[in-house]
Chains A and B, each alone.
Chain A
């Protein structure tokens, strides 16, 4: 079974530029999450989708971050404009709801200079 796919793996941008990350969850997984993990910290939930609807986006900085999940499968997370403090790993995860467990992709590493 294929895992959660993310791209790009690494991205370096200048502050005030924009960036987009893509995620393809495990086939059949209805729930999709985007987490932000700053170096030395645990993952922090940015947004959670159930199919193509948003369940929780309370910690998403909506003035600069946006996310969508069209057709309830792939998802895109966008940052515009980026700030230095956005340098982090952006982790996508998916889950079925069974056993209440989620599975992560390899992450997209963002450096803002």
Chain B
């Protein structure tokens, strides 16, 4: 079993839709949770960062962490064609080593 599982997609949605992207994990020691966006031929770009459980909102993006279920989500409201990219979840074990474990990424396509 992989430490971090993420559906690779692709996920196609119409413009304006609400998108839900998810990751599950097996290691209950993860404390820090990140979402990165990666455009084709580019490096990953940090979107959202959450510590422990709870929700965090930034514009059209909302990140949720449910540690009891070992499940994290990224919601994108009013999706735009410019949101078409691969979305990677990442998790970190401790603040000491900052060792990040990444999911495989979900390819998202928002259709105009």
User: Which A residues lie at the B interface, using CB under 8 A?
Assistant: 4, 31, 33, 35, 40-45, 48, 55-56, 91, 95, 97, 99-107, 109
Contact of B99 among A45, A91, A101, A109 (CB under 8 A): A45
CB distance from A38 to the nearest CB of B (A): 10
Query: Is B53 at the interface (CB under 8 A from chain A)?
Result: no
Nearest residue, chain A, Cβ from B95: A100
- Chain B contributes a number of interface residues (CB within 8 A of A) equal to 26
- What's the A-B contact tally at a CB cutoff of 8 Å? 58
Structural contact, A41 and B98, CB atoms closer than 8 A: no
User: Which B residues lie at the A interface, using CB under 8 A?
Assistant: 4, 6, 8, 32, 34, 36, 41-46, 49, 51, 88, 90, 92, 95, 97-100, 102-105
Nearest residue, chain B, Cβ from A95: B98
Nearest residue, chain A, Cβ from B94: A100
CB distance from B26 to the nearest CB of A (A): 15
- Docked Cα-Cα span, A106 to B102, in Å, equals 17
Known: A101-B34, A104-B44. A42 touches B104 (CB 8 A): yes
Residues of the B chain whose Cβ atoms lie less than 8 Å from the Cβ of A102? 46, 98, 100
Known: A31-B98, A100-B49. A42 touches B42 (CB 8 A): no
